[in-house]
Amino acid sequence: MMDHEHRTALYSLDGNLWMENDSDEETELYNEEGLEGEYIGDIMQEDKPTNTTRIYFQNVNGLKWNTNGGTWPVICQAMAGIHADIACFSEKFQIREKMKEIASIQFDQVRMVTATSNRKVQRAYKPGGTAMLTMQDTVAYSKEPTKDRMGRWVSTRYSSGNGSNVTVIGAYQVCQTRRTGQTTAATQQMNQMLEEAAASGNNRHINPRECFIRDLTAFIQQRQANGDRVVLGGDFNEVVTENSGIHQLASACGLTDVFCQRFETATGPATFKGGPNRLDYVLLSPALVPYIRAAGYEPYDYRRVFSDHRAMFLDFASDLLFGDQPIPLASVSQRELRANDPEAVPKYIESKYAELHNHNILERLLSLEEMQDHDPAFVERIDRDMERAATIATKTVKSHKRYPWSPQLSKAWAVIHYYKMCLSQLRRPAVNLGTSITSWRSRNPGVPDDVPPSEAVAKQRIREAHRSLLQIRQQASEHRRQHLDHKADVYAELGDTTKERILERMRNAESLHRAFNKLCNIRNPERSTGLTSIQVPRDPSATIARKLLSRLVSSLVCRSVFRRCHKSNQEVMKTRPTAQVQSTPFL
């Protein structure tokens, strides 16, 4: 056990204290005995403090993939539970398209980069590979994800308000120097290296570990030449000694071993179940060391992520790391414009350009450049008009949810329009709107008769009307169903069978539409495939449900047959629906 002073302080390269631990009574540092189930270093505060950026590294030792994502959803849930901002994983990554889909379910904002070799495998997992997640508000800083051609590392460059960028790298170095199997990560890399050497005419062969150090050093030095500060973490499968490749990389790139400085030893603590040595660690630019708030290793098999390697984390002060705190980002569902929408983006650009052109923004900007005297008011007017153009363009692509019509919904909108007309009359007394107001009341029974005496009262009535509209929208489907039922009863009493049949078809169509929406909502969001079964209640009173589901099945079968025939013969073929039902467990 290290003494009390060493247990409560981290050291910089010059030996001075660079951080005090606020929880020294709870934090246990490096101990050679009995550490399998203990924290080493700082204990992570799962309720992450404000102004903190959390970076997490772990060799997950395989995803154990299945149709539901295997252990990947568990990993994503664990990262959400600790409020990680950047997470790097390595080893046995068979890259799958559904990984991003599953991560998007767990996080409102997520950016994912994965890397693997170009070798094909037939099994459910693939040795080697790396992945990185950037989550929640930190996505706003990410601007350049990259991946290694052999899957040895992934990286993301993050912009910084203080003028210099930060590159975070998650890496995995193989432990073998020669082939040990047909699909091991070392064999994959050696085969790919031989192909590249043959293509380039280079006869010099090096082992994958030497190639890893050479290529990663070159990548880091390239980023450093552009002014980037670097955080490199992962499973390097070697102890940091004077003769090790990692020591050569750290010396060439000027990186600091955080945990070596913390524990004053390069060999411990053990981070791999199969040995006593430290194989997982973090190297970073010395300029980032003072920004660290906490750093530590977690116990083995923690957070339901079962692996033979410890996870490790670093907590940075966000305002020091990025120059400011992350900007809160709106969730994807709340965004009015999405940059990957092929229909909305051109419409937005055309609308915004038209507004800018109408306000002569380009000419005014040219005039601003030629100005000799500073004119803040002129600049503010340009900024206001540009912001207004963006707002107007956004409204042109904004999607509005359509609510089913009902008398209650119509009356709610009529009341809002009435009070807006009254507000316009109060604001412009010279314009006589009395006739329009009276006509509106006569055409919409139920609109209030009173006229607001002042603008403040009119605005208050409008706010109340909007709150009432919100409540009615929540019950819009029920109001619509009651309205159709009432009209059907009226026509039945009048004996108008034609209109009664029309209303019956309308009710069936709208019920079928609601059933489709419900099925879309209750379908497993982690599956991209379609429906495979529909359970129908055995209750004899559920006749309508059986009828609607029968029509639903027929529609689905006909659509399936149509698509298959159109794809094979490029023409529509009439096929009996029952031919498809026999092997499909719909009912």
Judge whether 458 and 423 are in contact, CB under 8 Å. yes
| pLDDT at residue 268 greater than cutoff 70 | yes
507 within some domain:
no
Question: Residue 582: what pLDDT?
Answer: 37
**Whether residue 37 is found in the same domain as residue 140:** yes
Judge whether 52 and 317 are in contact, CB under 8 Å. yes
- pLDDT tens column, 222-257: 999 999 999 999 999 898 888 888 999 999 999 999
**Whether residue 75 is found in the same domain as residue 211:** yes
Confidence of residue 22 (pLDDT cuts 50, 70, 90): very low
Question: Residue 191: what pLDDT?
Answer: 79
Dihedral Cα 457, 463, 464, 470, nearest 10 deg: 170
User: Rounded CA gap, 266 and 540, in Å?
Assistant: 74
303 within some domain:
yes
Judge whether 390 and 356 are in contact, CB under 8 Å. no
SS3 546: helix
Judge whether 116 and 129 are in contact, CB under 8 Å. yes
User: Rounded CA gap, 120 and 192, in Å?
Assistant: 11
% pLDDT > 70, the chain: 79
509 within some domain:
no
Q: What does the H/E/C string look like for 308-373?
A: CECCEEEEEEHHHHCCCCCCCCCCHHHCCCCCCCCCHHHHHHHHHHHHHHHCCHHHHHHHHHHCCC
**Whether residue 256 is found in the same domain as residue 308:** yes
**Whether residue 393 is found in the same domain as residue 411:** no
**Whether residue 29 is found in the same domain as residue 112:** yes
- pLDDT tens column, 497-536: 898 888 888 888 888 887 777 776 665 544 444 555 555 5
User: Rounded CA gap, 288 and 231, in Å?
Assistant: 8
The model carries a pTM of 0.61
**Whether residue 359 is found in the same domain as residue 232:** no
Question: Residue 133's domain is classified under what CATH number?
Answer: 3.60.10.10
Residue among 289, 279, 258, 316 nearest 29 (CA): 258
Higher-confidence position of 444 and 540? 444
State which residues form the domain around 368.
333-397
Cβ-based neighbour number of residue 189 at 10 Å: 24
**Whether residue 465 is found in the same domain as residue 587:** no
Average pLDDT of the residues of the chain = 79
**Whether residue 371 is found in the same domain as residue 449:** no
Judge whether 164 and 228 are in contact, CB under 8 Å. yes
492 within some domain:
no
Which among 321, 346, 363 is the end of a domain?
Answer: 321
**Whether residue 188 is found in the same domain as residue 82:** yes
Quote the DSSP letter at residue 70.
T
Judge whether 100 and 134 are in contact, CB under 8 Å. no
**Whether residue 163 is found in the same domain as residue 51:** yes
Task: Specify the number of domains making up the chain.
Answer: 4
Cβ-based neighbour number of residue 56 at 10 Å: 24
Cβ-based neighbour number of residue 187 at 10 Å: 21
479 within some domain:
no
- pLDDT tens column, 407-460: 999 999 999 999 999 999 999 888 888 889 889 988 988 888 888 999 999 999
Which among 279, 301, 321 is the end of a domain?
Answer: 321
* Backbone torsions φ then ψ of 12, nearest 5 degrees: -90, -175
Percentage helix, strand, coil for the chain under 3-state DSSP, each rounded to 5: 45, 15, 40
Q: Residues 313, 315, 320, CA angle at the centre, nearest 5°?
A: 145
User: Rounded CA gap, 310 and 305, in Å?
Assistant: 10
